[in-house]
Amino acid sequence: MNCESLTFPAPNDRQDVYSVTTRSGVGFVDQSTGQWLSFAVLPESGVLQQLVTKLHTGEGLWLLGLILGASALTVPVLSYTGAQSWWIRRRSAITQINSQINTVDIEQADTIILVGSEGNTTWGFARDLQANLCKVGCKVYCAEMNQLADYYPRAKRLFILTSTYGNGDAPSSAHNFLTKLASFRPDQTLQFAVLGFGDQQFPQFCQYALDVDAALQNKGIARIHSVGLINRGSSAQFREWGNDIAEVTGIPLALTHNPLPTPTAKLTLIDREDYGLEGLAATSIFRFSAVGTDSLPFFEAGDLLGIVPPNDDVARFYSLASSTTDGVLEICVRKQPYGLCSGYLHALKLGDGIEGFIRQNPEFRPAVGGNPVILIGAGAGIGPLAGFIRKNTQRNPMFLYWGGRNEEADFLYQPDLGRYLNDHRLTGLQTAFSQTKSQAAEKAYVQDKLLEDQTAVRQMLEQGAQILVCGGRGMAAGVAQAINDILKPLQINVDALKAQGRYLEDVY
């Protein structure tokens, strides 16, 4: 087999795969076992695809590459074909990823397993379930939730294993599931069970699994078992769910999957800015670099840094305030009373080391384009919002509403925000201080400032503005209420904006 290209898995990501392109097709290889996960033979259109690949890489076509490089007309062509390349590669991955163990066709399968995942950990659990079912003679077909078929002619059982992302939303491999469910024609004998994977640190624990369970019930499909919820990939909870299913169905299941611990990167504290020191509400901005000659992992502002504090085994998440391209990893952390991880971070001195891992959060990003972006946060929630403003080099209209306790001790990022206002990366800033000592200023919360500016906020929303909210749950609830009030004359609400991707939350 002539290998035309080989893409290595992302460093430190044990779940990533090798992508191999040959003249005849595209495949994926497990990085730990070296086994083929899938190989998709390219159809005739693959010839076109390979030409597309050549156009992108210039491989073997240097002269054409020069000509194309000289021509601005190639930009739209390459944009289109680039998107096409990505789409074909992704389609190939998602349709083939389980071909090695999908020994039956969809038409023959008596059991369907559909997987909703963003970070791939749910696939490990799904494969274990599939292997167990196959062992006792079930004819199992496994695919991602987006590939829900209209009809499964022989299926008696439908298992759905899905994580939850955003703030209670679908992971990427399930984005289209609920839409596709409308045309799904279940057989009378079909029964289903949903298993949710999530993390109780997030306000909407396993919410998407709960939504899917309700939607399947509304469709009139009978349940094998009530929805199961797995916290932080607990293998014990997974085993117990398997035992429950075994009891109801009579199919013996011995589920043992135990995900590998997430690999971490070493980081050194190179700078910190401390605020609010005299009270309990100490909040600090921490800046870390990679250690020695290592480079920082890849991340964008709005992604999450996971840190497991000493004397505990549960990671805490912190929203990233910088991107790899800033050359520094920045987080903004409020010290919780008796908080293990926040206390650990606040006790760090310059030069101290920590270990952390990145969890991508691509849903929480300002939209590209010229529509206004309204950033709303309180306390440490300013972190990723400051990161978005720093990156707004296009000078798109960007407004920040931020609430703190006291302007003297707590005004996080004050010098930076002043600079961003001056150079127009930030268009407007409104602050609210809930414990201000100033005679001139009134005590206020961030939602009070939104209501004060309601005419302007409503106008921006009418023009297609997007809202991003970051910080505590209480603040987020108050902000949603205020925005609903502001939206009333337009006869829409926050839920409608959320459905359009125009109201995003990073709430904890």
Ligand X SMILES: Cc1cc2nc3c(=O)[nH]c(=O)nc-3n(C[C@H](O)[C@H](O)[C@H](O)COP(=O)(O)OP(=O)(O)OC[C@H]3O[C@@H](n4cnc5c(N)ncnc54)[C@H](O)[C@@H]3O)c2cc1C
Ligand Y SMILES: Cc1cc2nc3c(=O)[nH]c(=O)nc-3n(C[C@H](O)[C@H](O)[C@H](O)COP(=O)(O)O)c2cc1C
How far is the C-alpha of 121 from the C-alpha of 119, rounded, in Å? 6
CA 312, chain centre distance (Å): 25
340 touches, from ligand X, ligand Y, none (C-beta below 5 to 8 Å by class): ligand X
Token digits of residue 116: 């909703």
Restricting to residues 194-213, which ones interact with ligand X according to CB under 6 A? 201-202
> Is 146 an interacting residue with respect to ligand Y (CB under 6 A)?
no
Closest distance of CB 316 from ligand Y, Å: 12
104 DSSP assignment? S
Residue 175 binding: pick among ligand Y, ligand X, none (C-beta 5-8 Å cut-off by kind): none
Q: Is 333 among the residues that bind ligand X (CB under 6 A)?
A: yes
Closest approach of ligand Y to the CB of residue 14, in Å: 12
Which 348-367 positions form the footprint of ligand Y (CB under 6 A)? 359, 361
Return the structure tokens found at 416: 């930076």
Whole-number Å distance between alpha carbons of 39 and 19:
10
**φ and ψ at residue 129, rounded to 5 degrees:** -60, -45
Does 197 help bind ligand Y (rule: CB under 6 A)? yes
Alpha helices in 195-339 (DSSP H): 207-218, 235-249
Rounded (5°) CA angle 451-453-458: 90
Instruction: Choose the contact partner of 339 out of ligand Y, ligand X, none; CB within 5 to 8 A by kind.
Output: ligand X
Per-residue tokens: 460: 């921006």
Residues ≥6 apart with Cβ < 8 Å to 266: 290, 291, 294, 353, 354, 355
In angstroms, what is the minimal distance from the CB of 498 to ligand Y? 13
Amino acid at 140: V
CA-CA distance, 41 to 378, in Å (whole number)?
Answer: 52
- Nearer to ligand X by C-beta: 218 or 338? 338
Nearest residue to the partner ligand X, using Cβ: 339
Q: Identify which of residues 132 and 164 has a Cβ nearer to ligand X in the complex.
A: 164
- Contact between 308 and ligand Y per CB under 6 A: no
Task: Name the one range near ligand X by CB under 6 A: 33-41, 239-247, 331-339, 402-410.
Answer: 331-339
> Which of the choices ligand X, ligand Y, none does residue 117 contact, using the CB cut-off of 5 to 8 A by kind?
ligand Y
User: Does 202 engage in binding with ligand Y (CB under 6 A)?
Assistant: yes
Q: What is the CA radius of gyration of the chain?
A: 25
Measure the CA–CA gap between 131 and 281, rounded to whole angstroms.
Answer: 50
Q: Is 316 in the site for ligand X (CB under 6 A)?
A: yes
Contacting residues toward ligand X, per CB under 6 A? 201-202, 304, 309, 316-319, 331-334, 336, 338-343, 380, 383, 472, 506, 508
Q: What is the contact surface with ligand Y in residues (CB under 6 A)?
A: 117-122, 163-165, 167-168, 171, 197-199, 202, 204-207, 233, 304, 359, 361
